[in-house]
Amino acid sequence: MKKLIERKLPFSKKYSVLDISITGMDTDWSGCDNCGRPIANKAVIMDTEGKQFVIGLDCLKTLFDAQSIEKSSYLKSADEYQDASRVATFVGFAQDAQTNQDWLAVTATKNGKTKECPTVLVKRYAPEFLSAVPA
């Protein structure tokens, strides 16, 4: 297992996930409240005192692995984190995207390569991206 590095947000505190936003590289970047690095794909978390932080998905995974993230409507298990990461990778890959008529999957193409991602995941984690995709 990878060594967990504690940054600005202490592992001893508990946090809940309020939102996960997969915005991709073509949007405004902000800095992670935990590590300070620029982030495009973000999670909004809140500590037990009600203070909110915007962090990147890597820092979210670190806090999750450190057992500092409480179960919430957005992150009930590591599987949901994997879903959010999958969508982030998909959105980052997409140069051209389209949905099929059944809305079962979003297809993205880049340099002749094609990837698909379930529409339900894209809708949940990247609704802004999905709204810009032609049917």
Residue 43 falls inside a structural domain? yes
Residue 1 falls inside a structural domain? no
41 and 23 Cβ atoms separated by less than 8 Å: yes
Residue 62 falls inside a structural domain? yes
What's residue 126's pLDDT? 79
Task: Give the whole-angstrom CA distance, residue 127 versus residue 88.
Answer: 12
Residue 21 falls inside a structural domain? yes
Domain total in the chain: 1
Residue 9 falls inside a structural domain? no
Residue 5 falls inside a structural domain? no
What domain range is 121 assigned to?
15-131
11 and 68 Cβ atoms separated by less than 8 Å: yes
What's residue 28's pLDDT? 62
The 8-class DSSP code of residue 33 comes to: T
Please give the chain's pLDDT, 135 residues, in tens: 679 999 999 999 999 888 887 765 555 667 999 999 988 788 889 999 999 999 998 899 899 889 898 876 556 656 777 787 788 777 777 767 777 655 567 787 778 888 888 888 888 877 777 777 776
Residue 123 falls inside a structural domain? yes
Residue 101 falls inside a structural domain? yes
> Starting at the edge strand that comes first in sequence, how are the strands of the sheet with 41-47 ordered?
52-56, 41-47, 15-22, 69-70
